[in-house]
Amino acid sequence: MRISSVLAGERSTPYGLPNFDSTTVFVRATASALRGEEFPGLEMINPRLTPLAKRVNHLPRRVRSGIYTRGGANEGIDPDDLGDIDVERFREWVVDQYPERGYPAVIVGSSNGAAVHLAALLGIPWLPQTFLVPIRREMGPDAIREDIQWGREHAQRFLEANPDVSLHQMHDPNQDRLMVRKLGYFRVKSRTLGPAYEEFLETVLEPGGTIISLECEYDWPAINLGERHRFQLGGCGGLSPEEYYEGSDAVARFLERHEAGIRQWDVPEPDKRGPEAEWGFEPALREDIERFAAEQDHDVRRLSFDDPRDLSPFVANLYREQYAARGDAPDRLFAQSFALVEPWWTMRTGSVPYWLAFNTNPDANHLEDYLSDTAPYDEIRTNLFAHGVESAGLASIDRWRAVLANATQEYGFVGVDEREFPYDVEVQVRYHEDISETITHRQPLLAPLPFDEFTETIGERAEEYALEWE
């Protein structure tokens, strides 16, 4: 899943690395927190265009959809340039975002919004394994076999130029229906740390420090297209893998609404399951982390979990406990959807962060399960990422309102135009501006949680949260 960049400023990432992928946003959010700064407008909305951005919802939905699609296509690269893309430049960009100072630990691995808030609480960097390379091309959203063939024709030059990555080509005709018309999705996973990450770790990791290998073991059926090249239909969200590959009533209804002329997607049989393209962890990186750590006399800890949302309850309760230990009332929950994360304002408002992978029924169910298992919150609020299409499995505003109603006093949305969701493209601007207006409480930021205290806590409680800490 991606965010439209039609309102972005100048490119500030290496060519081939989009400004508005989840990975890019998570790096910026974490780095802003470590600098003690807020994270406005995904840190890429051009301030001069903010007044215009707040008027987009006044346009017809069809026009908004076109703006969203064109904005994403603007970040795509020419297929002829794939052989010139060097993922090491992406890793260089990542480490350049962080303050260069000593850290007791560094997180390396899976993309995860809860990990952003964990890194902010610990005061340590997060280095991602997964990056997105979007490629410009024109294709029908349901042309699955055509996209597979297109990938076969264009992947080899990229793989030859980047021998230390695996390529997870992704096509989601449900949640990314607008974008896949204009873009091919090459999600790439580093199999090694690479020189930039190694140099950064050598520079900033304190003697005897710890590398946390963050490993989301979420998997997905995929089709093998060659060495280090897999094709994945669909992704984490409102439909199961089986519904993408085998069809269902929900898929049939979705395709009928979009006048697709089919009842299920035509796709080859998958070969086997492997790491999910956006959130899953490629285990080859762990071997390189262990090799590097042994050479540098650093500790390695694996923090692993099955579903990308599984880390959220632990991180939420960790914040809750830190507020309580300082004497603050830990009774305010702020659920943050997909890339709409804001660590600085979360702490400044004394809010407990709970990360939602997207805006679907499974996300609503995960949040509801958490609320049923924890002490009640007086106040519960959420922002909702809007992707411009009523995708199958989308949780309605009424469904989200019912979950938020678990609050004992106040509940509601932050930056969401309830009448326009999921066509509410203005949320990319309003999600940040509305925090200070909607959540009026203020308190000092939390001091970084001492790393030895964190290791003791997670060592005692990992099993309780279905996490593995090794």
304-337 tens-digit pLDDT: 999 999 999 999 999 999 999 999 999 999 999 9
Residues making up the chain, counted from first to last:
470
More confident residue, 156 or 63: 156
Judged against a pLDDT cut of 60, whether residue 6 lies above it is answered with: no
Reported as a single tens digit per residue, the pLDDT across 97-109 is 999 999 999 999 9
Report which residue type is found at 266: D
> Angle, nearest 10°, between helix axes 361-373 and 397-404?
10
Give backbone dihedrals phi and psi of 108, rounded to 5 degrees, phi first: -130, 130
CB of 85 closer than 8 Å to CB of 158: yes
Reported as a single tens digit per residue, the pLDDT across 21-47 is 999 999 999 999 999 999 987 655 544
Categorise residue 237: left if φ over 0, alpha if ψ from -120 to 50, beta otherwise: left
Which H or E element spans position 412?
strand 410-413
Give every CB contact of residue 458 below 8 A, 6+ residues apart in sequence: 303, 314, 467, 469
Report which residue type is found at 275: P
CB of 351 closer than 8 Å to CB of 140: no
CB neighbour burial string for 127-141, b if at least 16 within 10 angstroms, e if fewer: bbbbbbbbbebebeb
Give backbone dihedrals phi and psi of 390, rounded to 5 degrees, phi first: -80, 80
CB neighbour class for 67 (10 Å; exposed up to 12, middle 13-18, buried from 19): middle
d(CA 36, CA 38): 7
CB neighbour class for 124 (10 Å; exposed up to 12, middle 13-18, buried from 19): buried
Judged against a pLDDT cut of 80, whether residue 120 lies above it is answered with: yes
- Banded pLDDT at 71 (limits 50, 70, 90): low
* Alpha helix (H) residue ranges in 79-112: 87-96
User: The whole model's pTM is what?
Assistant: 0.94
CB neighbour burial string for 39-50, b if at least 16 within 10 angstroms, e if fewer: bbbbbbbeeeee
**DSSP assignment, residue 103?**
E
Judged against a pLDDT cut of 80, whether residue 2 lies above it is answered with: no
Domains of the chain, with CATH numbers? 22-305 (no CATH), 312-463 (3.40.50)
Tokens of 198: 């190694």
Secondary structure of 361-373 as H, E, C letters: HHHHHHHHHHHHH
Tokens of 92: 């260089």
